[in-house]
Chains A and B, each alone.
Chain A
Amino acid sequence: MKIAVLVKQVPGGESSLSINNSQNWIDESVVTFVMNPPDNFALEEALLIKEKMEQGEVVIVSMGPQRVQKVIREGLAKGADRGIHIEEDGQIEIDPLTIARRFVDVLESENFDLILSGLQSDDTGMGQTGVLIGELLGISTATLAVETEILDGHVKVKRELESGWFQWLQLPLPASISIQSGLNTPRYPSLKGIMGAKKKEIKLVSSSEISSGERSQSMDRIFVPTASKQTEKIEGEVDQTVGRVVEILKSELKVI
């Protein structure tokens, strides 16, 4: 079982965010980058599958500038076997279709049985790259997987629907599956893992910068959202608060 895990590097949740001078993205020079948290669950699922099958290979694939090697290394420290870094210095956050095509160029020749990705990225949250890649490769896709089970030539996936509903799907391999966050508990790298990761291979694939003519969509402006609501703040003594709430429920909202 040869498994690719698509990992993205994104600004950490605690990063201070300031808008760049051209007002079309954030100023990345003041950002702390981390592995996209949802991708952590995809990586853990891949490692669990490999351990359960007692054979196979887990390959971290990431696209971006030099800095993304940090998250590849982190994946290798957790137990992935090797990494592929698709070098791309342009702003890749904004155009999933073009990014997916670039990934496909690299993934095609590797013949993975399984391609796993996280639910969405914490930066732009487009939530589609794994599925796009599946379609472009002509293989099966599933999203929001909360359980996976490898069978002979197939993968069984428990998919989360809305409102507490679920569904089991059986997909022929190869397949591209995006993983729902929270389905497992991602491991921390061990010291041995961190040491071992230094010796593991990261293959560098250079690609020409995505040109503007090639793009299918663009991000034209980024801005701070303005509050659209007038909010009445109620605070102070509990009795007063309760009195005001009852009044609102009765006279303003007429729900009691």
Chain B
Amino acid sequence: MNVLVVLENNRGKLHRLSTEAIVGAQKLGSTVSALVMGEGLENIVNELDACDLEKIITVDHDLVSTYNADGYSEVVKQVAQSFSFNIILAGHTYQTRDFMPRVSAKLGIPFIPDIVSVNDNRFVKQVLNAKLNAEMSSASDSAILSFQSATFSEEDLKTGSCGSEVFEADLSPSVVRAVSEDPFQEDQGDVDLESADVLVSVGRGIEKEENVPLAFELAKKMGAEVSASRPVVDSGWIDSFRQVGSSGSNVAPKLYFSLGISGAIQHVVGMKGSKKIMAINKDSDAPIFEIADYAIVGDVLEIVPKLIEALDQS
């Protein structure tokens, strides 16, 4: 199996799910290479220097200096064809969802997305809103796969040696039809949820905006950052840069302390890699309890004030 991992380059930094995808590839394939394009290529090559990879393929081309689906899908196709990769892997991110289907159509091989585990050549994917799991397989020995967050752990990354090779992509301006403007944030903020050790995360169980400061107070006592689920952000109670989930940040802190989050799959995929999960929820059947290490059945608005008090005293 000749595996290519397509890395996601966040302005010179590797996406966390890309590292997990390399771990997945190392478990899956006999030879594993990685592809990276965009700005700050050297940083990424350095970051992976001690990683056990056949080689890192870099593409430095004006038309893919920033992400665009037209250019990226064309480059991945060309790389896959010229090195005869039969398995293409990536983390299941918004970017992957945007361009990988195009690679699938270009190469005529299936894209099996959002995989949560692997048994030989069978790939397990959640279906019907995560109520059931399905085992999928490709009809040929070729496939594109993307892994859900926390399917593999960065800690299992195999170290070793890794060469690098420049690939000259054949791209003409006519390929890139979409004109992309620079990405921007609606709420400016410099909170780095992904490097926080402890997150106190707010869900609908906080009930109203006036109660949100409780979470900030608790976080302060614990030296934690505050994050939130999508409904709370959509209500405008908490800034969008604090959102965790498929549309927000993907986090893996030492402790994820969720306050009144029910645990919809869109939220869970962004935090299930947390080392420990503690959750408070009124509903003892809340899905968040299925992945929690500590399930606290109760009212956030009763427990949190008393907890803050107790932490003051201790």
Known interface pairs A168-B181, A169-B181, A238-B302. Does A217 touch B136 (Cβ–Cβ under 8 Å)? yes
**B110-132 contact mask (Cβ, 8 Å, vs A): 1 or 0:** 11111000000010011111111
B234 / chain A contacts, CB cutoff of 8 Å: 182
**A1-44 contact mask (Cβ, 8 Å, vs B): 1 or 0:** 00000000001010001010000001000000000000000000
The answer to whether A136 and B105 touch across the interface, beta carbons within 8 angstroms, is yes
Partner of A219, one of B102, B131, B134, B184: B134
Counting chain A CB atoms within 10 Å of each CB, the highest count among B105, B182, B243, B306 belongs to: B105
Task: State in angstroms the CA–CA spacing of A232 and B285 once bound together.
Answer: 14
Q: Mark the stretch among A47-55, A69-77, A139-147, A189-197 that contacts chain B.
A: A139-147
Known interface pairs A162-B249, A167-B183. Does A255 touch B133 (Cβ–Cβ under 8 Å)? no
A56 to chain B, nearest CB (A): 22
Partner of A128, one of B113, B184, B295, B303: B113
For chain B, the bracket of interface size reads 35 or more
Q: Mark the stretch among B155-163, B172-180, B202-210 that contacts chain A.
A: B172-180
Q: Mark the stretch among B22-30, B31-39, B82-90, B91-99 that contacts chain A.
A: B91-99
Known interface pairs A128-B101, A167-B183. Does A96 touch B111 (Cβ–Cβ under 8 Å)? yes
Which residues between 111 and 164 of chain A lie within 8 Å of chain B, taking CB atoms? Answer: 122-129, 131-132, 134-136, 140-144, 159-164
Which residues between 285 and 302 of chain B lie within 8 Å of chain A, taking CB atoms? Answer: 289-298, 302
The answer to whether A142 and B310 touch across the interface, beta carbons within 8 angstroms, is no
Counting chain A CB atoms within 10 Å of each CB, the highest count among B143, B184, B234 belongs to: B184
The answer to whether A135 and B101 touch across the interface, beta carbons within 8 angstroms, is yes
**B224-246 contact mask (Cβ, 8 Å, vs A): 1 or 0:** 10000000001000011111000
Partner of A246, one of B98, B129, B307: B307
A134 / chain B contacts, CB cutoff of 8 Å: 102
Which residues between 185 and 219 of chain A lie within 8 Å of chain B, taking CB atoms? Answer: 215-219
Known interface pairs A219-B134, A223-B132. Does A170 touch B295 (Cβ–Cβ under 8 Å)? no
Partner of A164, one of B132, B185, B293, B303: B185
B68 to chain A, nearest CB (A): 8
B149 to chain A, nearest CB (A): 11
Task: State in angstroms the CA–CA spacing of A225 and B44 once bound together.
Answer: 36
Known interface pairs A128-B104, A142-B69, A239-B306. Does A220 touch B132 (Cβ–Cβ under 8 Å)? no
Task: State in angstroms the CA–CA spacing of A223 and B119 once bound together.
Answer: 14
A162 to chain B, nearest CB (A): 5
**Interface pairs (24), CB distance under 8 Å:** A13-B129, A124-B127, A127-B114, A131-B98, A135-B73, A164-B241, A164-B243, A165-B183, A167-B182, A168-B181, A169-B178, A172-B178, A218-B139, A222-B135, A223-B132, A227-B290, A229-B292, A231-B294, A233-B297, A234-B297, A235-B284, A235-B296, A249-B222, A255-B223
Interface on B for A, CB 8 Å cutoff?
69-70, 73, 93-95, 97-102, 104-106, 108-114, 122, 125-140, 143, 177-187, 189, 193, 197-198, 221-224, 234, 239-243, 247-250, 254-255, 276, 278, 284, 289-298, 302-303, 306-307, 310-311, 314
Known: A169-B178, A231-B293. 17 other contacts (CB 8 A): A19-B132, A26-B128, A96-B104, A97-B108, A126-B113, A135-B101, A141-B98, A142-B98, A162-B94, A227-B290, A232-B294, A238-B306, A241-B298, A245-B278, A248-B294, A249-B255, A253-B276
Interface on A for B, CB 8 Å cutoff?
11, 13, 17, 19, 26, 94-97, 100, 122-129, 131-132, 134-136, 140-144, 159-172, 180, 182, 215-225, 227, 229-235, 238-239, 241-243, 245-246, 248-250, 253, 255-256
